[in-house]
Amino acid sequence: MLVVAGDLVGITLLSLLVSGTSTLLATLVAVPLGVTLGLREIGSQRLLRNILFTLYGLPPVLAGLLVFLLLRRDGPLGSLGLLFTPLGMILAQFVIVTPILLGITMSVVATVERRVKDTAFALGADRRQVSVTVLHEAAAGILTGVMVGFGRAISEVGAVFIVGGHIEGRTQVLTTSIITDIQAADYADAVGLGAVLLIIAAVVYSLLYRLQERTLP
Amino acid sequence: MTMSLDVEGLWKGFDQRRVLRGIDLHVAAGETFALVGPSGVGKTTLLRCVDFLLQPESGILRYGGREAATSPPERLALRRRIGFVTQNPLLFRGTVFYNVSFGLCVRGVEGPSLEDRTHAALAAVGLRNRTDARASDLSAGETQRVAFARAIVVRPSLLLLDEFTANLDPANVAQLESAVTTYHRESGATVLIVTHNLFQARRVASRAGFLLEGKIVETGDVGPFFASPRDERTRAFVQGEMPY
Protein backbone atom coordinates (compact mmCIF):
# COMPACT_ATOMS: atom_id res chain seq x y z
CA MET A 1 0.00 0.00 0.00
CA LEU A 2 1.60 3.23 -1.06
CA VAL A 3 1.46 6.06 1.45
CA VAL A 4 0.97 9.48 -0.09
CA ALA A 5 2.15 12.68 1.56
CA GLY A 6 -1.26 13.62 3.01
CA ASP A 7 -1.68 10.16 4.45
CA LEU A 8 1.81 10.25 5.91
CA VAL A 9 1.05 13.45 7.83
CA GLY A 10 -2.21 11.99 9.13
CA ILE A 11 -0.61 8.70 10.11
CA THR A 12 2.29 10.44 11.82
CA LEU A 13 0.02 12.79 13.74
CA LEU A 14 -2.21 9.92 14.85
CA SER A 15 0.85 7.94 15.98
CA LEU A 16 1.97 10.92 18.07
CA LEU A 17 -1.53 11.51 19.41
CA VAL A 18 -2.09 7.90 20.45
CA SER A 19 1.36 7.27 21.93
CA GLY A 20 1.69 10.74 23.44
CA THR A 21 -1.75 10.61 25.07
CA SER A 22 -1.31 7.10 26.39
CA THR A 23 2.10 8.02 27.87
CA LEU A 24 0.67 11.22 29.38
CA LEU A 25 -2.26 9.37 30.95
CA ALA A 26 0.04 6.64 32.23
CA THR A 27 2.28 9.34 33.73
CA LEU A 28 -0.65 11.00 35.48
CA VAL A 29 -1.68 7.68 37.01
CA ALA A 30 1.64 5.91 37.56
CA VAL A 31 3.83 8.71 38.94
CA PRO A 32 1.68 9.73 41.96
CA LEU A 33 0.89 6.08 42.65
CA GLY A 34 4.54 5.05 42.24
CA VAL A 35 5.72 7.83 44.59
CA THR A 36 3.16 6.79 47.22
CA LEU A 37 4.05 3.12 46.97
CA GLY A 38 7.79 3.77 46.73
CA LEU A 39 7.74 5.76 49.96
CA ARG A 40 6.08 2.96 51.87
CA GLU A 41 8.39 0.40 53.36
CA ILE A 42 6.00 -2.53 53.35
CA GLY A 43 6.55 -6.22 52.76
CA SER A 44 3.89 -6.51 50.08
CA GLN A 45 5.82 -4.00 47.97
CA ARG A 46 8.15 -6.79 46.85
CA LEU A 47 5.22 -8.82 45.52
CA LEU A 48 3.79 -5.79 43.73
CA ARG A 49 7.20 -5.01 42.25
CA ASN A 50 7.55 -8.58 40.99
CA ILE A 51 4.13 -8.34 39.34
CA LEU A 52 5.08 -5.04 37.72
CA PHE A 53 8.42 -6.39 36.52
CA THR A 54 6.54 -9.30 34.95
CA LEU A 55 4.24 -6.84 33.21
CA TYR A 56 7.30 -5.08 31.75
CA GLY A 57 7.43 -8.04 29.44
CA LEU A 58 3.73 -8.02 28.65
CA PRO A 59 3.57 -8.78 24.92
CA PRO A 60 1.70 -5.96 23.14
CA VAL A 61 -0.37 -8.53 21.24
CA LEU A 62 -1.56 -9.98 24.55
CA ALA A 63 -2.36 -6.49 25.89
CA GLY A 64 -4.18 -5.80 22.62
CA LEU A 65 -6.10 -9.04 22.87
CA LEU A 66 -7.20 -8.27 26.45
CA VAL A 67 -8.33 -4.76 25.53
CA PHE A 68 -10.02 -6.14 22.40
CA LEU A 69 -11.99 -8.61 24.54
CA LEU A 70 -13.00 -5.76 26.83
CA LEU A 71 -14.07 -3.45 24.02
CA ARG A 72 -15.69 -5.84 21.54
CA ARG A 73 -19.40 -5.43 21.05
CA ASP A 74 -20.42 -8.11 23.60
CA GLY A 75 -17.50 -7.37 25.95
CA PRO A 76 -17.78 -5.61 29.35
CA LEU A 77 -17.00 -2.21 27.81
CA GLY A 78 -18.55 -2.89 24.40
CA SER A 79 -21.28 -0.30 24.88
CA LEU A 80 -18.65 2.46 24.85
CA GLY A 81 -18.00 1.84 21.16
CA LEU A 82 -14.22 2.29 21.52
CA LEU A 83 -13.14 -0.67 19.40
CA PHE A 84 -11.38 0.35 16.17
CA THR A 85 -11.07 3.96 17.36
CA PRO A 86 -8.02 6.02 18.43
CA LEU A 87 -9.45 6.08 21.97
CA GLY A 88 -9.36 2.29 22.08
CA MET A 89 -5.77 2.35 20.83
CA ILE A 90 -4.85 4.84 23.57
CA LEU A 91 -6.40 2.50 26.13
CA ALA A 92 -4.39 -0.44 24.78
CA GLN A 93 -1.10 1.47 24.97
CA PHE A 94 -2.04 2.81 28.41
CA VAL A 95 -2.26 -0.80 29.59
CA ILE A 96 1.24 -1.45 28.23
CA VAL A 97 2.95 1.73 29.46
CA THR A 98 1.46 2.11 32.94
CA PRO A 99 3.16 -0.91 34.60
CA ILE A 100 6.52 0.16 33.17
CA LEU A 101 6.21 3.71 34.44
CA LEU A 102 4.78 2.59 37.78
CA GLY A 103 7.60 0.10 38.35
CA ILE A 104 10.34 2.56 37.39
CA THR A 105 8.83 5.32 39.57
CA MET A 106 8.56 2.97 42.55
CA SER A 107 12.15 1.81 42.13
CA VAL A 108 13.52 5.32 41.66
CA VAL A 109 11.63 6.70 44.67
CA ALA A 110 12.57 3.73 46.85
CA THR A 111 16.24 4.27 46.06
CA VAL A 112 16.20 8.00 46.80
CA GLU A 113 18.41 8.36 49.83
CA ARG A 114 16.67 7.92 53.16
CA ARG A 115 18.42 11.17 54.10
CA VAL A 116 16.25 13.10 51.62
CA LYS A 117 13.12 12.15 53.55
CA ASP A 118 14.81 12.76 56.89
CA THR A 119 16.13 16.15 55.79
CA ALA A 120 12.74 17.31 54.50
CA PHE A 121 11.12 16.01 57.68
CA ALA A 122 13.67 17.77 59.90
CA LEU A 123 13.09 21.00 58.01
CA GLY A 124 9.42 20.93 58.93
CA ALA A 125 7.82 19.29 55.90
CA ASP A 126 4.55 17.46 56.43
CA ARG A 127 3.89 14.08 54.84
CA ARG A 128 2.72 15.49 51.51
CA GLN A 129 5.62 17.93 51.35
CA VAL A 130 8.08 15.10 52.05
CA SER A 131 6.55 13.20 49.09
CA VAL A 132 6.85 16.24 46.83
CA THR A 133 10.50 16.67 47.87
CA VAL A 134 11.25 13.03 47.10
CA LEU A 135 9.52 13.47 43.73
CA HIS A 136 11.70 16.50 43.05
CA GLU A 137 14.84 14.52 43.90
CA ALA A 138 13.71 11.56 41.79
CA ALA A 139 12.62 13.67 38.80
CA ALA A 140 15.50 12.67 36.53
CA GLY A 141 14.83 8.97 37.08
CA ILE A 142 11.09 9.35 36.62
CA LEU A 143 11.67 11.21 33.36
CA THR A 144 13.74 8.25 32.23
CA GLY A 145 10.67 6.14 32.95
CA VAL A 146 8.53 8.46 30.83
CA MET A 147 11.04 8.17 27.98
CA VAL A 148 11.05 4.38 28.22
CA GLY A 149 7.24 4.36 28.33
CA PHE A 150 6.89 6.58 25.28
CA GLY A 151 9.45 4.49 23.43
CA ARG A 152 7.47 1.36 24.19
CA ALA A 153 4.23 3.02 23.04
CA ILE A 154 5.43 4.58 19.79
CA SER A 155 7.22 1.41 18.70
CA GLU A 156 4.62 -1.22 19.53
CA VAL A 157 2.45 -2.64 16.80
CA GLY A 158 0.52 -5.61 18.13
CA ALA A 159 -1.92 -3.83 20.44
CA VAL A 160 -2.80 -0.95 18.12
CA PHE A 161 -3.25 -3.38 15.25
CA ILE A 162 -5.71 -5.55 17.16
CA VAL A 163 -7.63 -2.75 18.87
CA GLY A 164 -7.37 -0.15 16.11
CA GLY A 165 -7.82 -2.47 13.15
CA HIS A 166 -5.60 -0.34 10.88
CA ILE A 167 -8.59 1.29 9.20
CA GLU A 168 -7.53 3.61 6.40
CA GLY A 169 -7.89 7.25 7.36
CA ARG A 170 -9.08 6.41 10.87
CA THR A 171 -6.75 4.17 12.85
CA GLN A 172 -3.62 3.83 10.75
CA VAL A 173 -0.40 4.53 12.66
CA LEU A 174 3.22 4.30 11.57
CA THR A 175 3.97 0.85 12.98
CA THR A 176 0.85 -0.81 11.57
CA SER A 177 1.49 0.89 8.21
CA ILE A 178 5.01 -0.57 8.14
CA ILE A 179 3.56 -4.05 8.67
CA THR A 180 1.03 -3.68 5.89
CA ASP A 181 3.66 -2.20 3.57
CA ILE A 182 5.89 -5.23 4.18
CA GLN A 183 2.95 -7.55 3.53
CA ALA A 184 2.39 -5.68 0.26
CA ALA A 185 6.14 -5.84 -0.52
CA ASP A 186 6.30 -2.01 -0.51
CA TYR A 187 9.70 -2.08 1.16
CA ALA A 188 10.66 1.46 0.23
CA ASP A 189 7.52 2.83 1.88
CA ALA A 190 8.17 0.65 4.92
CA VAL A 191 11.71 1.98 5.25
CA GLY A 192 10.45 5.54 4.79
CA LEU A 193 7.89 5.11 7.56
CA GLY A 194 10.58 3.59 9.74
CA ALA A 195 12.72 6.65 9.16
CA VAL A 196 9.82 8.89 10.20
CA LEU A 197 9.47 6.83 13.40
CA LEU A 198 13.14 7.30 14.15
CA ILE A 199 12.92 11.06 13.54
CA ILE A 200 9.94 11.30 15.92
CA ALA A 201 11.88 9.35 18.52
CA ALA A 202 14.91 11.59 18.08
CA VAL A 203 12.88 14.80 18.45
CA VAL A 204 10.84 13.60 21.44
CA TYR A 205 13.85 12.16 23.23
CA SER A 206 15.96 15.26 22.69
CA LEU A 207 13.17 17.35 24.23
CA LEU A 208 12.80 14.98 27.18
CA TYR A 209 16.56 14.83 27.61
CA ARG A 210 16.79 18.60 27.78
CA LEU A 211 14.06 18.55 30.39
CA GLN A 212 15.92 15.85 32.28
CA GLU A 213 19.14 17.84 32.23
CA ARG A 214 17.37 20.64 34.07
CA THR A 215 16.45 18.28 36.88
CA LEU A 216 20.01 17.05 37.39
CA PRO A 217 21.99 18.56 40.28
CA MET B 1 10.69 31.96 71.15
CA THR B 2 12.85 29.83 73.36
CA MET B 3 12.06 26.35 74.66
CA SER B 4 13.55 24.13 77.34
CA LEU B 5 14.21 20.44 76.70
CA ASP B 6 13.78 17.65 79.21
CA VAL B 7 14.67 14.05 78.49
CA GLU B 8 13.52 11.53 81.05
CA GLY B 9 14.46 7.85 81.07
CA LEU B 10 14.96 7.63 77.31
CA TRP B 11 15.73 4.18 75.92
CA LYS B 12 16.51 3.39 72.31
CA GLY B 13 18.17 0.41 70.66
CA PHE B 14 18.80 -1.08 67.25
CA ASP B 15 18.30 -4.83 66.91
CA GLN B 16 19.93 -6.32 70.00
CA ARG B 17 22.10 -3.30 70.80
CA ARG B 18 20.89 -0.81 73.42
CA VAL B 19 22.24 2.60 72.43
CA LEU B 20 20.42 4.88 74.87
CA ARG B 21 20.00 3.37 78.35
CA GLY B 22 17.73 5.64 80.28
CA ILE B 23 18.97 9.11 79.37
CA ASP B 24 18.04 11.93 81.75
CA LEU B 25 18.93 15.41 80.60
CA HIS B 26 17.71 18.92 81.26
CA VAL B 27 18.58 21.78 78.92
CA ALA B 28 17.22 25.07 80.20
CA ALA B 29 15.40 27.50 77.96
CA GLY B 30 17.83 29.80 76.21
CA GLU B 31 21.03 28.03 77.18
CA THR B 32 23.69 26.54 74.96
CA PHE B 33 24.44 23.00 76.08
CA ALA B 34 27.28 20.87 74.71
CA LEU B 35 26.99 17.12 74.87
CA VAL B 36 30.37 15.43 74.55
CA GLY B 37 31.40 11.81 74.51
CA PRO B 38 33.25 9.15 72.53
CA SER B 39 31.97 7.83 69.22
CA GLY B 40 29.12 5.38 69.28
CA VAL B 41 27.75 6.25 72.71
CA GLY B 42 24.42 7.49 71.37
CA LYS B 43 24.83 11.24 70.93
CA THR B 44 23.40 11.31 67.42
CA THR B 45 20.68 8.82 68.35
CA LEU B 46 19.62 11.13 71.16
CA LEU B 47 19.38 14.14 68.84
CA ARG B 48 17.42 12.11 66.28
CA CYS B 49 14.96 11.08 68.99
CA VAL B 50 14.62 14.70 70.12
CA ASP B 51 13.89 15.71 66.49
CA PHE B 52 11.36 12.84 66.04
CA LEU B 53 13.47 11.18 63.37
CA LEU B 54 13.64 8.13 65.63
CA GLN B 55 10.98 6.70 67.86
CA PRO B 56 12.30 5.95 71.36
CA GLU B 57 11.39 2.64 72.95
CA SER B 58 10.50 4.32 76.21
CA GLY B 59 10.99 7.56 78.06
CA ILE B 60 9.55 11.03 77.98
CA LEU B 61 10.53 14.09 75.97
CA ARG B 62 9.31 17.47 77.21
CA TYR B 63 9.59 20.63 75.17
CA GLY B 64 9.02 23.86 77.05
CA GLY B 65 7.86 21.77 79.99
CA ARG B 66 5.17 19.99 78.00
CA GLU B 67 5.27 16.40 76.93
CA ALA B 68 5.63 16.02 73.16
CA ALA B 69 2.23 16.12 71.50
CA THR B 70 1.11 13.00 69.66
CA SER B 71 -1.60 14.40 67.36
CA PRO B 72 -0.17 15.01 63.86
CA PRO B 73 -0.98 18.76 63.66
CA GLU B 74 0.47 19.46 67.12
CA ARG B 75 3.49 17.27 66.44
CA LEU B 76 4.07 19.12 63.16
CA ALA B 77 3.82 22.48 64.93
CA LEU B 78 6.35 21.30 67.51
CA ARG B 79 8.69 19.89 64.86
CA ARG B 80 8.61 23.24 63.13
CA ARG B 81 10.06 24.87 66.24
CA ILE B 82 13.15 22.65 66.07
CA GLY B 83 16.15 23.10 63.79
CA PHE B 84 18.66 20.33 63.13
CA VAL B 85 22.08 20.47 61.47
CA THR B 86 23.86 17.17 60.91
CA GLN B 87 27.50 16.28 60.40
CA ASN B 88 27.10 15.44 56.71
CA PRO B 89 24.08 17.43 55.61
CA LEU B 90 22.27 16.56 52.43
CA LEU B 91 21.43 19.47 50.19
CA PHE B 92 18.56 19.05 47.77
CA ARG B 93 19.04 19.29 44.01
CA GLY B 94 18.83 22.92 42.98
CA THR B 95 20.22 26.23 44.07
CA VAL B 96 21.43 27.49 47.40
CA PHE B 97 18.35 29.73 47.54
CA TYR B 98 16.04 26.74 47.04
CA ASN B 99 17.73 24.87 49.87
CA VAL B 100 17.77 27.72 52.35
CA SER B 101 14.21 28.81 51.59
CA PHE B 102 12.89 25.23 51.84
CA GLY B 103 11.82 25.49 55.48
CA LEU B 104 10.04 28.77 54.82
CA CYS B 105 8.24 27.37 51.77
CA VAL B 106 6.86 24.38 53.66
CA ARG B 107 5.61 26.79 56.32
CA GLY B 108 3.76 28.82 53.70
CA VAL B 109 6.05 31.86 53.72
CA GLU B 110 6.23 33.53 50.31
CA GLY B 111 6.93 36.74 48.47
CA PRO B 112 9.29 39.45 49.76
CA SER B 113 9.35 37.92 53.25
CA LEU B 114 10.64 34.64 51.83
CA GLU B 115 13.38 36.40 49.88
CA ASP B 116 14.41 38.75 52.68
CA ARG B 117 14.64 36.02 55.29
CA THR B 118 16.52 33.68 52.96
CA HIS B 119 19.04 36.37 52.07
CA ALA B 120 19.44 37.31 55.73
CA ALA B 121 20.14 33.70 56.70
CA LEU B 122 22.70 33.41 53.91
CA ALA B 123 24.32 36.66 55.00
CA ALA B 124 24.60 35.25 58.52
CA VAL B 125 26.90 32.52 57.24
CA GLY B 126 28.75 34.70 54.74
CA LEU B 127 27.14 33.22 51.64
CA ARG B 128 25.01 36.12 50.43
CA ASN B 129 26.91 36.06 47.12
CA ARG B 130 26.24 32.33 46.54
CA THR B 131 22.45 32.57 46.39
CA ASP B 132 22.15 31.27 42.84
CA ALA B 133 24.95 28.68 42.99
CA ARG B 134 23.99 25.07 42.49
CA ALA B 135 24.13 23.07 45.70
CA SER B 136 26.25 20.42 44.00
CA ASP B 137 28.94 23.01 43.21
CA LEU B 138 29.56 23.97 46.85
CA SER B 139 32.62 23.08 48.90
CA ALA B 140 32.24 21.06 52.11
CA GLY B 141 32.48 24.21 54.19
CA GLU B 142 29.91 26.04 52.09
CA THR B 143 27.60 23.03 52.21
CA GLN B 144 27.74 23.03 56.00
CA ARG B 145 27.11 26.77 56.11
CA VAL B 146 24.11 26.42 53.80
CA ALA B 147 22.78 23.66 56.06
CA PHE B 148 23.14 25.96 59.05
CA ALA B 149 21.44 28.85 57.22
CA ARG B 150 18.65 26.46 56.22
CA ALA B 151 18.12 25.55 59.87
CA ILE B 152 18.09 29.08 61.32
CA VAL B 153 16.07 30.73 58.55
CA VAL B 154 12.88 29.51 60.26
CA ARG B 155 14.02 30.91 63.64
CA PRO B 156 13.82 27.63 65.60
CA SER B 157 13.29 27.76 69.35
CA LEU B 158 15.47 24.70 69.81
CA LEU B 159 18.54 24.26 67.62
CA LEU B 160 20.21 20.83 67.47
CA LEU B 161 23.75 20.70 66.10
CA ASP B 162 25.32 17.29 65.52
CA GLU B 163 29.10 17.51 64.95
CA PHE B 164 28.25 20.41 62.70
CA THR B 165 31.85 21.50 62.10
CA ALA B 166 33.52 18.10 61.92
CA ASN B 167 36.08 17.84 59.12
CA LEU B 168 35.98 21.57 58.35
CA ASP B 169 38.94 23.91 58.15
CA PRO B 170 39.50 26.42 60.98
CA ALA B 171 38.09 29.35 59.01
CA ASN B 172 34.80 27.57 58.37
CA VAL B 173 34.68 26.37 61.97
CA ALA B 174 35.17 29.92 63.23
CA GLN B 175 32.51 31.27 60.88
CA LEU B 176 29.96 28.67 61.93
CA GLU B 177 30.68 29.04 65.64
CA SER B 178 30.28 32.78 65.26
CA ALA B 179 26.97 32.22 63.45
CA VAL B 180 25.77 29.98 66.30
CA THR B 181 26.74 32.53 68.92
CA THR B 182 25.08 35.35 67.00
CA TYR B 183 21.90 33.36 66.42
CA HIS B 184 21.75 32.37 70.08
CA ARG B 185 22.28 35.94 71.24
CA GLU B 186 19.73 37.45 68.86
CA SER B 187 17.02 34.79 69.13
CA GLY B 188 17.46 33.54 72.67
CA ALA B 189 16.96 30.02 71.31
CA THR B 190 18.03 26.92 73.19
CA VAL B 191 21.02 25.27 71.52
CA LEU B 192 22.06 21.65 72.03
CA ILE B 193 25.43 20.82 70.47
CA VAL B 194 26.86 17.36 70.10
CA THR B 195 30.59 17.54 69.52
CA HIS B 196 33.85 15.68 69.80
CA ASN B 197 35.65 18.97 69.88
CA LEU B 198 36.14 19.82 73.54
CA PHE B 199 37.59 23.22 72.66
CA GLN B 200 34.46 24.00 70.69
CA ALA B 201 32.27 22.95 73.60
CA ARG B 202 34.19 25.37 75.84
CA ARG B 203 34.01 28.18 73.30
CA VAL B 204 30.34 27.94 72.45
CA ALA B 205 28.45 26.38 75.35
CA SER B 206 27.56 27.58 78.83
CA ARG B 207 26.91 24.06 80.18
CA ALA B 208 28.14 20.65 79.14
CA GLY B 209 27.37 17.01 79.70
CA PHE B 210 29.27 13.76 79.22
CA LEU B 211 27.52 10.84 77.58
CA LEU B 212 28.98 7.35 77.93
CA GLU B 213 27.49 3.97 77.12
CA GLY B 214 24.03 5.41 76.61
CA LYS B 215 23.86 7.32 79.89
CA ILE B 216 24.60 10.86 81.02
CA VAL B 217 27.54 10.59 83.39
CA GLU B 218 27.82 14.20 84.46
CA THR B 219 26.59 17.68 83.60
CA GLY B 220 27.71 21.07 84.80
CA ASP B 221 28.74 24.59 83.92
CA VAL B 222 31.45 24.57 81.29
CA GLY B 223 34.20 25.96 83.58
CA PRO B 224 34.00 23.38 86.37
CA PHE B 225 32.97 20.62 83.95
CA PHE B 226 36.28 20.83 82.14
CA ALA B 227 38.51 22.08 84.96
CA SER B 228 37.42 19.79 87.78
CA PRO B 229 34.98 17.09 86.69
CA ARG B 230 33.37 15.15 89.50
CA ASP B 231 33.33 11.77 87.79
CA GLU B 232 36.57 9.93 87.06
CA ARG B 233 35.32 8.89 83.60
CA THR B 234 34.54 12.50 82.68
CA ARG B 235 37.99 13.53 83.88
CA ALA B 236 39.62 10.83 81.76
CA PHE B 237 37.65 11.93 78.71
CA VAL B 238 38.21 15.69 78.98
CA GLN B 239 41.92 15.13 79.65
CA GLY B 240 42.20 12.93 76.57
CA GLU B 241 43.02 9.78 78.51
CA MET B 242 39.98 7.80 77.40
CA PRO B 243 40.72 5.81 74.24
CA TYR B 244 37.95 5.97 71.59
Cβ-defined contact of B106 to A125 (cutoff 8 Å): yes
- The Cα B24–Cα B212 span in angstroms is 12
* pLDDT tops 70 at residue A6: no
Which domain range does residue A109 map to?
Answer: 5-215
- Mean local confidence (pLDDT), A5-17: 88
Position A49 confidence tier, pLDDT thresholds 50, 70, 90: confident
pLDDT at residue number A57: 84
* pLDDT tops 80 at residue B18: yes
Percent of chain B residues past pLDDT 70, beyond the cut: 99
Does this model's pTM top 0.90? My answer is: no
Q: Which of B61-70, B153-162, B195-204 has the highest mean pLDDT?
A: B153-162
* Cβ atoms of A190 and A181 closer than 8 Å: yes
Of B79, B93, B154, the CB nearest to A136: B93
Cβ-defined contact of B93 to A137 (cutoff 8 Å): yes
Residue B93: its chain A contacts at CB < 8 A? 136-137, 139, 215-217
pLDDT at residue number B69: 84
Of B51, B93, B107, the CB nearest to A122: B51
* pLDDT tops 80 at residue A207: yes
Lowest mean pLDDT segment, chosen from A43-52, A177-186, A205-214, B193-202: A43-52
Of A113, A120, A217, the CB nearest to B135: A217
Q: Which residues pair with B215 in a beta bridge?
A: B212
Three-class SS state of B63: strand
Distance of CA B44 to the CA centre of its chain: 9
Closest CA to B145 of B166, B122, B117, B162: B122
pLDDT at residue number B30: 96
Q: Are strands B58-63 and B5-14 parallel, antiparallel or unpaired?
A: antiparallel
Selected residue of A119, A132, A135, A136 to mutate for chain B interface (largest B Cβ count, 10 A): A119
pLDDT at residue number B88: 92
- Mean local confidence (pLDDT), B184-193: 97
Position B39 confidence tier, pLDDT thresholds 50, 70, 90: confident
- Mean local confidence (pLDDT), B42-56: 96
Cβ-defined contact of B79 to A124 (cutoff 8 Å): yes
Percent of chain B residues past pLDDT 90, beyond the cut: 91
pLDDT at residue number A172: 95
Selected residue of B50, B93, B100 to mutate for chain A interface (largest A Cβ count, 10 A): B93
Residue B155: its chain A contacts at CB < 8 A? none
- Mean local confidence (pLDDT), A84-101: 96
The pLDDT tens digits for B87-126 are 999 999 999 999 999 999 999 999 999 999 999 999 999 9
The size of the A-B interface in CB pairs under 8 A is: 51
CATH assignment of the domain containing A189: 1.10.3720.10
Three-class SS state of B111: helix
Three-class SS state of B14: strand
A192: left (phi over 0), alpha (psi -120 to 50) or beta: alpha
Of B53, B102, B154, the CB nearest to A118: B53
pLDDT at residue number B40: 87
Q: Does A137 touch chain B (CB under 8 A)?
A: yes
How many structural domains does chain A have? 1
- Mean local confidence (pLDDT), A153-177: 95
Q: What is the dihedral of CA A39, A40, A45, A48, to 10 degrees?
A: -60
Position A3 confidence tier, pLDDT thresholds 50, 70, 90: low
Q: Which of A106-110, B49-53, B194-198 has the highest mean pLDDT?
A: B49-53
Selected residue of B45, B71, B85, B102 to mutate for chain A interface (largest A Cβ count, 10 A): B102
* Cβ atoms of B167 and B132 closer than 8 Å: no
Residue B52: its chain A contacts at CB < 8 A? 121
